[in-house]
Amino acid sequence: RVYIGIDWADDHHDIHVTDDSAAPLGSFSIPHSYDGMKKLRERLGKSSSDPGNVLVAVESHQGLLIYALLEAGYLVYPINPKAMDRYRDRYRMSSSKSDPKDAMVLANILRTDLHLYKPLPRETVADARLRQLTRAHKSLVQQKVKLLNHLTAQLKSYYPIALRLFSRLDHKITLAFLERFPTPEKAAAASLEDLRKFFQKQGYSHQRKSTFIYESLQQPSLRAPKELEEVHQTIVLSLVPVIRSLRDEIEKLANEIGKEFKHNPAHDIFSSLPTGELTAARLNGELGSDGTRYPTREYVQTAAGTAPVTRRSGKTILIFFRWQCNKHLRAAFQDLARESVKQCAWARQYFAEQMRLGHKPSRAYRALANRWAAIIWKMLQERERFNQSRLDKSQVKALSAV
């Protein structure tokens, strides 16, 4: 076998090649380009004619470089940067660091400790597309939440009544109202007829609320200094169109995710879960459609961060929260746990049992997510849908496993 260490960068990559005898077979640099990858394949082809015997260590698990390496047929092993930092101390006494040296360290990690690492699973294009879409959707949702929090803080500072007029701050009518009436003074100056015409133009169906909104705006309220009110107005008017744009793009992405999810090979499996379509699609994208990617349920539980870390020393046993994991997968399982409590009797019962044991809600949801990880792993292995009314023996075992 041939062991490759790649210290990657945005514009170039340092390469080190070795074998089981630890003999250096080459150290070189390639540009981050098509020609650079072609050069790498040519150099490695001289060391091994079988791409399956080429094992690559790199401090990354995604990106164009990773795609190119997997497409070439190499086995790619992602190395945690924290672990890499510890391995450096094997080859140095000082705190010196260089990219070629790091490439050498990476190659030797696989040569000496291959049994401790797992190669990146190969995934289908359908899984990759779904994963990218769901991650982008989640990112935009998080950005929208931050902007809504900013908008809320601004309105509390000079225009708190605006927060109580409509059910949600990101609704079309709320954003349009803030643009048309960006200050308490302008809102109070509007007549009841003005408000009714405005709502009619916006297609707002709750016309009967016009009187309530009008009367609320006429009530005396605390006012910020005019100079500060002008600043708050400027900020609000800058936030509103950004939030509106984000809301629209999030909706478009959700539609695309729905289409992509329906064509995924594992759609029938994940769509059977007691959760919403977006959460099911996120789980599908992160776990993939091939059950062989994870040899045991523990692989899924550790990847999702639902299983705790146990440390034993003598008679002492300590249980810690698992920080190192796939954060996207953890968030998806947490959402599944919360949503399944509302839709699944078993999940609701399990959550209640965890609460009766004295656990906090976050701990109870995490325990439930850990059970779901075991169940979904079994569903992928057996290519079966979730059916609470007739759980088979394998699912019963997963439900009761610790």
Average pLDDT, the chain: 89
Domain ranges in the chain? Answer: 2-120, 128-259, 268-400
Question: Looking at the predicted structure, is the pLDDT value of residue 29 above 90?
Answer: yes
The residues facing 238 across adjacent strands are: none
- Here the tokens at position 158 are 């000079």
Torsion, Cα 35 37 38 42, to 10 degrees, reads: 140
Q: How far apart are CA 147 and CA 252, in angstroms?
A: 19
Domain 2-120, CATH homologous superfamily name and number: ATPase, nucleotide binding domain (3.30.420.40)
| Span 128-259 CATH architecture | Orthogonal Bundle (1.10)
- Here the tokens at position 20 are 């089981």
The amino acid occupying position 206 is H
Question: Looking at the predicted structure, is the pLDDT value of residue 96 above 70?
Answer: no
Confidence at 278, pLDDT banded by 50, 70, 90: very high
Q: How far apart are CA 375 and CA 381, in angstroms?
A: 10
Q: How far apart are CA 29 and CA 238, in angstroms?
A: 47
What is the model's pLDDT at position 63? 82
Q: How far apart are CA 378 and CA 385, in angstroms?
A: 10
Handedness of CA 61, 64, 65, 66 (dihedral sign): positive
Q: How far apart are CA 361 and CA 371, in angstroms?
A: 15
Contact 79, 59 (CB under 8 A): yes
- For 280-324, what is each residue's pLDDT tens digit? 999 999 999 988 778 888 888 988 888 877 777 777 776 766 767
The CA distances from residue 184 to 158, 203, 213, 400, in Å, are: 8, 23, 12, 58
What is the model's pLDDT at position 47? 86
Residue identified by tokens 């308490």 is 184
Question: Of all residues in the chain, what percent are helix, strand and coil, respectively (each to 5)?
Answer: 60, 10, 25
Lowest-confidence range among 25-29, 82-86, 186-190, 314-318? 314-318
- The mean per-residue pLDDT over the stretch 363-380 comes to 94
Question: Looking at the predicted structure, is the pLDDT value of residue 396 above 90?
Answer: no
Contact 284, 266 (CB under 8 A): yes
The residues facing 55 across adjacent strands are: 3, 75
Total residues belonging to the chain: 402
- For 40-49, what is each residue's pLDDT tens digit? 999 988 888 8
- The mean per-residue pLDDT over the stretch 27-44 comes to 91
Question: Residue 58 is inside which H or E element, if any?
Answer: strand 54-58
Confidence at 394, pLDDT banded by 50, 70, 90: very low
The CA distances from residue 131 to 42, 76, 78, 127, in Å, are: 32, 19, 18, 6
Confidence at 276, pLDDT banded by 50, 70, 90: very high
The CA distances from residue 162 to 5, 7, 158, 186, 199, in Å, are: 58, 53, 10, 12, 15
Question: Residue 259 is inside which H or E element, if any?
Answer: helix 226-262
Judge whether 2-120 and 128-259 match in fold. Answer: no
- The mean per-residue pLDDT over the stretch 115-127 comes to 85
Question: Looking at the predicted structure, is the pLDDT value of residue 392 above 50?
Answer: no
What is the model's pLDDT at position 307? 81
